[in-house]
A = this chain, B = another copy of it.
Amino acid sequence: MNLKAAQDTRSEAQVAARLSHIRIVLINTSHPGNIGASARAMKVMGLQHLHLVTPKNFPCAEATAMASGADDLLERAVLHDSLESALDGCSLVLGTSARMRSLPMPQMDLRSAAKSALSEHEGQHIAIIFGQERAGLTNDEIHRCHQLVHVDTNPDYSSLNLSQAVQVMAYELRMAVIGGAGNTIAPSDWVPVDAGQMEMFFVHLEQTLLDIKFMNPEQPKRLMARMRRLFNRARPDQNEINILRGILTATQQTAQKHDN
């Protein structure tokens, strides 16, 4: 092995290490060929972790054929029966969308999103989620996201194929690594909690809003959707979640005393 090859190997190991905390999550994928093509798109850019939520027809020969040598990623793909399980341990969830939404969310362009994903703290897991081919992300899925990533496309024809969307995302992630980008620096003592903790917080919040009769269970409207958007934007750390849940518990105790 000559020096050039040795250097290439070393630097690719470094690229892989920088990308190893990122998982690509495909939800309800209809066409197994798209799963295979996505695995290929990931591997070619150095991404490793594919998670599949309730895919139709998987495993499947068509997926393996389209993976074309990236079948090791398919074999190691983690199957989930819920999005919640796929997001386990993730402190940042990015949702990809080419459409505008009725309840607008903070939207980043792809390049900025890739840079921000790379600038997360060491050891933090990040999920980038892609919805079903035709429908895209549902509102419930979007409410699990901290931010939406908008892929700029021709407004007259924004029909970006799923594996092509994965390809440009994977490409920008690789560029963010090899371009030395990622200049956004988070405060050193701020490590956002994972998605599971956020869900427990939202369950607690909803119950408390019912307890104090702020929320009408017959007419919940979009209250929790709005609360999700607000608190996902804030991305609380462990200390902050502890305080928030302490406030909720104290509020519930106050309400119970009143009821007794």
- Interface residues of A, Cβ cutoff 8 Å to B: 8-9, 12, 15-16, 37, 40-41, 43-46, 68-70, 98, 104-109, 111-112, 115, 150, 152-161, 163-164, 167-168, 171, 174-175, 178, 180-190, 209, 212-214, 223, 226-227, 229-231, 233-236, 239-240, 243-244, 246-247, 250-251, 253-255, 257-258
Q: Are B107 and A187 in contact (CB under 8 A)?
A: yes
The copy count of this chain in the complex is 2
Q: A45-B154, A106-B186, A152-B183 are in contact. Are A171 and B174 (CB under 8 A)?
A: no
C-alpha spacing A244/B206, complex, angstroms: 13
Q: Which residue of B lies closest to A211 (CB)?
A: B254
Residues of chain B within 8 A of A44, CB atoms compared: 98, 153-154, 157-160, 164
A91 CB to nearest chain B CB (Å): 14
Residues of chain B within 8 A of A115, CB atoms compared: 181
Q: Are A159 and B69 in contact (CB under 8 A)?
A: yes
Q: Show 20 A/B contacts (Cβ-Cβ < 8 Å), sorted by A.
A: A8-B155, A12-B156, A41-B164, A44-B160, A68-B159, A68-B161, A70-B157, A106-B184, A106-B185, A106-B186, A107-B184, A107-B187, A108-B184, A152-B174, A152-B175, A152-B178, A163-B164, A214-B251, A230-B240, A233-B235
Residues of chain B within 8 A of A69, CB atoms compared: 157, 159
